Amino acid sequence: MKISFMLLRYFLFLLISFFLAPSGLYAIQVKVSLPIPVSTQHTVEGFDNSTLYGPSDFGLKVLTPVAKDTLMGLGLSLFRARVDDGEGVSSKYTGVLQAIMFKLGVEYSGIKFFTDYQLVLELTVDFPTGGPGWVENANGDEVSRAQSVSGSGYYVSTAIRWGHLEGGFFFRNNHLNYGEMTIPERDPNKEISLNFTSYGLVLSYLF
């Protein structure tokens, strides 16, 4: 319920911001993107020899022109990942990591191929605005829950646009810290934090 309220609040903020944009409502576009990671490197504070599953990050952005062939984007995405202790650890734990990410970026699409294709270059920074995170023991019992999420990250991509469809490659780097989320048996003062870089394919649709 809390996540739904936060998503609604930020979506309304995006709508109001762009209704007031000087470029006018007619210029607004909405873009839905799905990054598909191919490779990810990570470190997780608080877990031993950890394995990361995901991350997934389905997002939506509202775009408006700021210059010729240049769009500014504001958006939200839902980040999800899971981390497990690795082999050889006696007491194994699982961390469920989620966050609602606020995104601010720019896109440039001034390079055209033939008649129907455009090269789209994107640079975006993102910040977690909230979201749950918790740690479970081997029995599935919750031992700790995050009270806050902080951090930052960036995302770059190169894609080809054909009509409303886009396909290309992305690279991203993120740091997320989950406040007061710990593994008490190991260290009650060490908060769980995730650092990761990933690259892969991205598919998008422009409305």
5 three-state secondary structure:
helix
**pLDDT score, position 49:** 86
pLDDT tens for each residue of 74-106 = 999 999 999 999 887 778 899 999 999 999 999
**pLDDT score, position 25:** 47
Amino acid at 182: T
pLDDT tens for each residue of 35-67 = 999 999 999 999 988 999 988 888 899 999 998
Structure tokens, 125: 């920074």
* Residues paired with residue 165 on neighbouring β-strands, in sequence order: 162, 205
pLDDT tens for each residue of 112-164 = 988 889 999 999 999 998 888 999 999 999 999 999 999 999 999 999 999 99
pLDDT tens for each residue of 159-206 = 999 999 999 999 999 999 999 999 999 999 999 999 999 999 999 999
Q: Does residue 203 contact residue 33 with C-beta atoms inside 8 Å?
A: yes
**pLDDT score, position 10:** 55
**pLDDT score, position 3:** 47
Number of residues in the chain: 207
Place of tokens 């504070």: 45
Structure tokens, 144: 């700790």
Q: How confident is the model at residue 34 (pLDDT cuts 50, 70, 90)?
A: very high
23 three-state secondary structure:
coil
**pLDDT score, position 124:** 97
pLDDT tens for each residue of 19-33 = 555 544 457 899 999
